[in-house]
Every structure is written in C-alpha cells, then in structure tokens.
Structure 1
Amino acid sequence: MDNLEKQLICPICLEMFTKPVVILPCQHNLCRKCANDVFQASNPYLPTRSGSLTSGGRFRCPSCRHEVVLDRHGVYGLQRNLLVENIIDMFKQESSSSKPAPASKEETPMCDVHEDEKINIFCVTHGVPTCSMCKVFGAHKDCEVAPITSIYQTKKTELSDGIAMMVGHNDRMQGIISQLEEACRAIEENGRRQKTLVCEKFDHLYSILEEKKREMSQKVTAEQEEKVNYIRGLTRKYGDHLEESCKVVEMGIQTMEESEMALFLQNTKALLKQIADASSTAHLDKVERGYESMDHYTVEFKKESKALRGLDFLQGDEDEDEEDEDAEAGAGEGEGAQTAASAASAQPPVASPSPGVARSAAST
C-alpha cells in the first residue's frame, strides 16, 4: 500500500492526485488544477477570462520535461485518466477500512561525544541537533535549545514551502525560455523580411548602388546575428539555471522522504541555502520589450530614384565661340560642379547605428 501511495502522488502539489486527473501526451499524470497552474505559469501573457485560459498554449511536463501543446480548450482539452481515479477511490476505501499498523521503532542516531546518549534536542544557537548531556555538561550548556520535534516540524514546513516555490520558479523560467525561443524565431523572420525589402529597393537603383545595397544588407544581418546570439546566450543561461534548480528540487524531494528527524535536520541547512541561491535570477539578463523588432531598417528611395532618373549628359552650346578659352574653362568647371551636385543628391541615406546594437554595447 505504501508503494502504491507513492505512485499516486502528484509531482506538483506532492499530495495524492485530486479529481479530475488528466493524462499528458507523455503518459504522466497531473491534477487538473496543478496542470492549469503550470500552464498559467508557463504562459503568463496569454489572455484569461474569469481565471480560465481561453486560448491554446504549451508547457513542459514537470516529470520528464516533454513539451505539451494544448488546443484552444487549454487543460480542459486533456483526457481524464479514469483508471487512476478509480485506483485512488479504491486506495482510499482500503486505507479507511484497514486498521492502522503499529509504528515501527526507528533507530535514533547517537551523540558523537556521549556515545550512550541519543540525539533528542536541538541547539538553536548553533543550529545542530545534540543530546541532553551536551546541554547539561557539554559544549552546548550555555546555548538555547528546543525540542527536536518542534524544530523538525518547522524545518520540514520550511523545506516544503521552498520546494513548492522552486517548482513554480522553474515553471516560470521554462515559460521565459519558451518566450526567448519565440523571440529568436521572430528576429530571424523579421531579419529575412527586412533584407528582402532592402534588396527590392536597391534593385531599382541598378549597378551604381550595388555596393551600398551590400553594405546596408550586411548591417541588417549583423544586428540579426547579434540579437540571435544574445537571445541564444540567454536561453543557454536560463537552461543551465533551470537544470541546476531541477537538481536542487530532486535533492529536496529526496530529503523530504527522510523520516529520521535528526538526519533530516543535519541535511536541511545546506539544502535550504542551495534553494535560496537557486531561486535568485538577479544575475540573469532580461530582454527588453520590442528587442526583436527590426523595423528601424525600413528604407525609402523615392527622392533618390527621382534624382537618378534626372541624371543625363550635359547639353553643350554647339554655336559657342571656342576662341574664348577662359570662358570655356569656366563652363567646364561649372559642368563638373553640377555633375558632382547631382551625384551627391543621388547618394542613398546612411543608416544610423541600430538601437539594438547601441543598447547591447552600452550594457556590455
């Protein structure tokens, strides 16, 4: 019965499954309420109505990290696991009808200093379990102590709350990773679209603008690669942090299964510190709103196209007196100045440094 009960524990609330129980595509089970909580944590920006999600989305199974894609019905579109629900009913009936088994006497660890004394109190001053002899005659005689049972319940509650917080934290982080992946795809798509628009504009300017077209296209590509690399770098950082957090959660779950109070308390202090460290995301960067936009590379060449269409050979005066060399030289200088002015007006505008690049450089 104990082994059966472990199989009926929800990985989110760490309690026995509550009806209705939904089955994920990866064949793992969740309470519907827990599945809805994980879904909302992974999709914080989806619209809601009266507390229920009204559109499809995705989240990852907390047991195997398999991605679950939902339709417009959300978690209510998942199939119920009637077999598990029936097993829960039978288990509860069997548990209520059977007599409680006598509690087995567990071995209590002995004090390292007083080998004949059991560890039965907790030193609040030093934060370690100890024995009564240490309090009376030993190293903890001047310390504040408390019953080990009360400290056990307090620390176990604290660890349980920490594990629940880490599970929610990991789900939110998974949602951030999914959004980063979406942002990466949006940047790539926007980059391709903007390069196509830039190329279409430059194709009307013929060979004299080929070099400029190549330069501006390279600017779009450079910012696209910079942003994609930045997003992918953040994805890797969040993924590494998520992996470490999952390991801490696994260690916490294993510690929760420790029934011996003294051993539990010996391992709780370091584990709580690891949970506090893993809960902090202050060292992880956040992507600014609109970072994936590439619209600042929009170009328009109506004015330059008009100037290029107006370029033509200069029409000289065929009846001009060629004997006046000074006037002819002046006319030549005027023609050169007019040609230079026309060419200058035909030059396309130089794109300003992208705000994404400037922002990344400033943050660096």
Structure 2
Amino acid sequence: MDNLEKQLICPICLEMFTKPVVILPCQHNLCRKCANDVFQVGLCYNILFIWLLVIGGRFRCPTCRHEVVLDRHGVYGLQRNLLVENIIDMFKQESSSTKPEQVTKEETPMCEVHQEEKINIYCVTHGVPTCSMCKVFGAHKDCEVAPISSIYQTKKTELSDGIAMMVGTNDRMQGIISQLEDACRVIEENSCRQKTQLCEKFDHLYTMLEDKKREMCQKVTAEQEEKVNYIRGLTRKYGDHLEESCKVVETGIQTMEEQEMAVFLQATKPLLLKIAEASSIAHLEKVERGYENMDHFSVDFKRERQALRSIDFIQGKKEKKKSSNYPIITSFLLLVPCSSPCILFTSL
C-alpha cells in the first residue's frame, strides 16, 4: 500500500491526486487544478519549481520535462485518466477501512525571544513577523503591527503577481531570443547567397581574362608563324642558290684539269658567266635588322593591377542590406510591483 501511495502522488502539490486527473501526452499524470495553476501561474506551491516549469508560456511536464502543447481549451482539453481516479478511490476506501483517521496539526513557529509565545502578528515597521509579547513589552512595542493573516494574503498576492510578471518577462525574452536566432539564420542565408553571387562574378572575370589571354597569345602565335615561314622561305632560296654555286665550283674544278687549251678556252667563257651569276646574291632578299624582335607584344598591366586591387563591394547598398537583414527589436520596460526597482531590458 505504501508503494502504491507513492505512485499516486502529484509531482506539483506532492499530495495524492485529486479528481479530475489529467493525463499528459507523455503518459504522466497531474491534478487538473495543479496543471491549471502551473499553466496560469495561479496559487503556486513552489516559486522556483513553477518558474522552471513555465518558460515563455510553454507548459512542460514536471516529471520528464516533455513539452505539452495546449489548444484553446487549455488544461481542460487534456484527457482524464479514469483508471488512476478509480485506483485512487479504491486506495482511499482501503485506507479508511484499515487505518484510523489521523488528525494533523499545523505547527506554528514560536518566538525566539518569548519561546512560549507563537508568532501571530506582523510588524509593519520592520517587515518581520513577531509575537504579541514583543508588541507589548519587547522590541516592537512602538511599531505598527497588523494581523499576520492579512499580511499573509497581501504578500502572497504580491508574490503571485511578481511571479506572473516574471513569467511574462520570460515570454518576451524568449520572443527576443527567437528573433535573434532568426536573425542569425537570415544572416547565414544571405551570406551564402552573396558568396555564391560573388564567386560567380569572379568566375566570370576569370573567364574574361582567360579569353583575353588566349586572344593575345593567338596574335603572338600568328606573327610568329608568319615570320618563321618567311625565314624558312628565305632559307630554301639561299639553299637552292648555294647548291647551284657548288655545282659551278665543281664544274670549274673539272675544267681546271683540262690539258687541251682549245677545249679549256671553249669551256671557260660560259663557266665564267655562271661564276659571276652564282657569286651575285643581290637578287636574294635579306632579313631586316630586328625582324625577329617580338617586343611590340609587350603588355603593361599596371592600370589593370590597380583596378583589381580596388575591387570592393558597392558601398551604397551596405546600409540598406544591413537594415534589411537585422530585425528591429524594440525596448520594453518591466515594472516589478511591491516597490521593487525598475528593470530596463534593451536590445542591441
């Protein structure tokens, strides 16, 4: 029975589930009233616990931290766990038949000065609870006092309002965080898009440079082929003339060996004419000085180099893009009640 009772304890109020019992999507159970208190930030049993449970208006299971998305009906839209309710009824019937009713008394704290006196009044002047003897004879005899019950309700209301205000602040802060995260995502997307466009433009520039380099190299190659073909043509002409000259020399050597004077003289006249013709190279073209020079194809990229170094983004669109990428997050002022200082949250 003790183990069963532990399974029927609500994680919010730490008491046995009270009807109706709602079942969360994660299959854990809560009292409907406790679930509503957590979601609406009503009467809280534990300030820190409720603050952790309600973040940005989201309702999380106190057992497993699973986020519960509620519709417009709120916690009343959650299904009731009839099985748990029936088990609770059976447990209560079994407990009432086996155990006598135990009367629990709330322990009232005692005064530290007057140890036999209960703390039953509240010193408004010093802001502390005290006893009647302290008001009559003690340190608070000249202070303004009030019933502790009325101060209890006032402070509890102030604390509840403060918690609700902090929950609202958390909700707004969560909204700002979401906006900042969206801004980071938009910045990353815009950066990727701009990088892609930038790379495309540089690739286009590279293509233009490659085309221009190919075009200029073709001009140099065309003149090279023209000059080389001309030189090779002259080489063939000079080669042909040299071959004819060698034949004339060979004929002259053979004529020199002729012993018969008449025959020698007959062969000498035409041979001398051929020698004169072979010795003359005036009819052959000559290559002009500096013909092989290709320096007129020199280039100077000084201006282009300066232009490339000056490549940068267009400054006129900088401010426009910055304003479009960053969401505008307005500042808001949070006024905490009960004479607490004002807290100003300002976005960057």
The TM-score range, normalised by the shorter chain, is 0.3 to 0.5
Flag the structure with larger Rg: 2
Specify which structure has the bigger relative contact order, considering alpha-carbon pairs within 8 angstroms and separated by 6 or more residues: 1
The TM-score with structure 1 as length reference comes to 0.40
